Amino acid sequence: MRDCHRTVRPVLYPFTLVLGACALVSSPLVASPLPQQGPTDLTTQAHPKPVAPKPVVHSPAIPAATPTAAETLGTDTGTTFEVETPESLPVAQWTLGDARALLAAIRGVGAEGLFPRDYQPAALAAQIAKGEGPDLDTLASHLFIWLAEDLRDGRTPMPDREQWFAVDPDQDLHPNSQLLAEATELHDVPGVLTSLTPTHPDYALLKQALAKAKDPKQIALIRANMDRWRWLGRDLGLQYLMINVPEQVLRLTVNNQIIHTYRAIVGRPGKTATPQLAEQVKNVVFNPTWTVPQSIVVGEGLGEKMISNPAKAKREGYVATRNGDGTITVVQQPGDNNSLGRVKLDMPNEHAIYIHDTPNRSLFALPARALSHGCVRAEHATQLAMTMAILGADLAPETAIEYNLSGKYTKVPMLRPFPVYIVYFTVARDVNGLMRSFPDIYGRDPAVLASFAQPRQLHTTQRKSNEAIIKLDNPL
């Protein structure tokens, strides 16, 4: 009965969510939105040691000489990415009024955590003084696009976004040429630029924190984390899951309200670190099986042990099969000891990362929970999974309970997209609604901070990290 009670209670409030967003705040079982309080405790962690800066491609002054063809940037893997040079950028006709509005936006962009100097305000002011014409059109167009790109996509070059695989859709939805046309044809430069900033409430809180910050190290960290918001899509959707890896917390969010938070276990530092992703939950799996990785089947001899002792395999909940090519497949069956626990949120991706339960729930009490092989374990995962099934698959609460208690493998396909964002913020709002800093457990701050200390780089066609993809589908 303890398991039944623990399962029944949480499915009452998510059923309200299905009835409509307005019902969310009326349910007494729905957590109220976290208060938007002022920044606190932003410098509790030691400032990361700077790393040696990487070679950069500087944004050239206009009308200084620039390359006449698209350049490429080499990467460690030999991949090349096209650089959009000034000569390849679109040019629009600018009025003096629009150019002055752009100059004002550039001078005020420090409030967004960017540097006015990156967008050559002195050169633009001088060109405005000379009047309208082709030179003003070229300079203003290029500076507008550079500023729009940084507000839309982030200033940090892709090579400095370590293990960042969350492709930002904004440049596809709002390409440079479209933005430039809107700004100049509608004569609304400020409005177009403002429309590119992240809508998430935490970005606004970081902006407030930046305005109040005095310590240079604190300012640098806030800037870096504001930029991380720009790496994501501007609009994250009506409902989604978000895991902030440094905080080791998972949030269920609906209409920008945090409905519930769950402690999370994330990957250990090193090759098992959890990558940053933007994926979608495709299935909710009750009583999942677990296909044991070959690193354990072969490397630890589990396959031969299970094949040679079928009774032991059955007793321990494994099914071992010798394949035609001589390899052995071992599948752990559903049950209390299954390594995935009672539920799994299936979000297909090339990294084999997903969210699941665990039989070792005592680990959630630890303050430091970077313990997994990359996948994310969620506290109270059964509650979360049933909520997801009700929200995204129209599953009746009674059916969710039945599936959970059946002990049988049951996969519930999602009927509506349910995004999952695995992110990395070292300055963010905590579960109490306060802005604070979190340990840089993977050491990803220094590269971002170093990039901000360098001149702005021209954007390239690279959309995500080109680091090697390591599949470690192992919850142990």
> In the chain, what are the domain boundaries?
2-44+236-290+334-423, 71-235+446-452, 291-333
Q: Which residue has the higher pLDDT, 292 or 25?
A: 292
CB atoms within 10 A of CB 451: 24
Q: What is the pLDDT of residue 346?
A: 96
pLDDT at residue 183 greater than cutoff 50: yes
pLDDT at residue 130 greater than cutoff 80: yes
Give the mean model confidence (pLDDT) for residues 18-36: 34
Q: What is the pLDDT of residue 417?
A: 83
Q: What percentage of residues in the chain have a pLDDT greater than 90?
A: 76
pLDDT at residue 123 greater than cutoff 70: yes
Q: What is the pLDDT of residue 420?
A: 98
Q: What is the pLDDT of residue 78?
A: 53
pLDDT at residue 37 greater than cutoff 50: no
Give the mean model confidence (pLDDT) for residues 178-207: 97
pLDDT at residue 62 greater than cutoff 80: no
Average pLDDT of every residue of the chain:
86
pLDDT at residue 39 greater than cutoff 70: no
Give the mean model confidence (pLDDT) for residues 129-147: 98
Spatial contact of 404 and 11, defined as CB atoms under 8 Å apart: no
Task: Choose the weakest-confidence range: 248-262, 319-333, 461-475.
Answer: 461-475
What's the CA gap between 112 and 383, in Å, rounded? 38
194: CB partners within 8 A, 6+ apart = none
> Terminal CA-to-CA distance of the chain, rounded, Å?
28
Pick the CATH number of 2-44+236-290+334-423 from 2.40.440.10, 2.40.50.100, 3.40.50.620, 3.40.50.300: 2.40.440.10
b/e code 272-301 from CB counts within 10 Å (16+ = b) = bbbbbbbbbbbbbbbbbbbebbeeebeeee
Among the listed residues 453, 405, 399, 432, the one whose alpha carbon sits nearest the alpha carbon of residue 155: 453
Q: What is the pLDDT of residue 212?
A: 97
pLDDT at residue 407 greater than cutoff 80: yes
Give the mean model confidence (pLDDT) for residues 413-436: 95
Confidence of residue 82 (pLDDT cuts 50, 70, 90): confident
Which residue's entry shows tokens 């993977």? 442
Q: What is the pLDDT of residue 363?
A: 97
Q: Which residue has the higher pLDDT, 346 or 2?
A: 346
Q: What is the pLDDT of residue 274?
A: 96
pLDDT at residue 297 greater than cutoff 50: yes
Q: How far is CA 189 from the centre of its chain?
A: 29
pLDDT at residue 31 greater than cutoff 70: no
Q: What percentage of residues in the chain have a pLDDT greater than 70?
A: 82
Give the mean model confidence (pLDDT) for residues 396-417: 96
Spatial contact of 240 and 392, defined as CB atoms under 8 Å apart: no
pLDDT at residue 325 greater than cutoff 90: yes
| 217-256: pLDDT as tens digits | 999 999 999 999 999 999 999 999 999 999 999 999 998 8
φ and ψ at residue 258, rounded to 5 degrees = -80, 110
Give the mean model confidence (pLDDT) for residues 454-476: 85
pLDDT at residue 476 greater than cutoff 60: no
Q: What is the pLDDT of residue 152?
A: 98
Give the mean model confidence (pLDDT) for residues 15-41: 35
The pTM is what?
Answer: 0.84
Confidence of residue 314 (pLDDT cuts 50, 70, 90): very high
Q: What is the pLDDT of residue 56?
A: 35
